[in-house]
A = this chain, B = another copy of it.
Amino acid sequence: MTDTPPQTRIQARNRAAILEAALEVFAARGFRGATLDRIAQAAGLSKPNLLYYFRSKEALHLAILQDLLELWLAPLRAMDPEGEPRAQIMGYVRKKLEMSRDHPRESRLFANEILQGAPRARPVLEGELKALVDEKAAVISGWSAAGRIGPVDPHHLIFSIWALTQHYADFEVQVRAIMGDTDPYPGAEAWLERVFGAILDIPHHGP
């Protein structure tokens, strides 16, 4: 996804297997909790063989993180300033919840990175991410000022979308412990529709 140096069939297969295995292990145990032995085993390789494809644990983690950040930022990028405000925001919410449901490991890997102080992702956060968020915040701000959605703080609105959607992936264990065997997602979808509907509503006056 980043660059594509000359790849043999074997390389393509093994790199993919390693990235998949590493995503699994890093997400479940964090950077320091993950071991190369475990990742290699999950990928069906020996540890030295894994290190033939990725120079170091660090490099492997970074490769995953970079791919991940693209996936993560795409839906926000897709928010269209020319579109209908409510549809654009609700679409982003829906997409983000889908990603929590379909890519919980990616979400947890990212959460791990941030929780530990973003030692590897910090530059991207302060650069690319901040720029993108500021840009979209300005758009939302415009919509709000034009009265096309209710009064909102655009930055905190975006934080809220992240928090509410990612919660279902990152804290899945807790959610499941409380909801029992019930699948939380149909409920969550309806609930977030309701929540952001209320937030974006243009307040009426009087009874």
The answer to whether A175 has its CB under 8 Å from any CB of chain B is: yes
Chain B residue at smallest Cβ distance from A111? B115
The answer to whether A129 has its CB under 8 Å from any CB of chain B is: yes
- Interfacial chain B residues near A151, Cβ < 8 Å: 194
Question: Secondary structure at chain A's binding surface: helix, strand, loop or mixed?
Answer: helix
Asked whether, in the complex, the Cβ of B187 is within 8 Å of the Cβ of A156, the reply is yes
Q: Which of A28, A111, A118, A198 has the most B CB atoms < 10 Å from its CB?
A: A198
- Interfacial chain B residues near A150, Cβ < 8 Å: 198
- Interfacial chain B residues near A170, Cβ < 8 Å: 111, 114-115
> Given A29-B116, A114-B173, A167-B162, is A133 in contact with B191 using a C-beta cutoff of 8 Å?
no
Asked whether, in the complex, the Cβ of A118 is within 8 Å of the Cβ of B173, the reply is yes
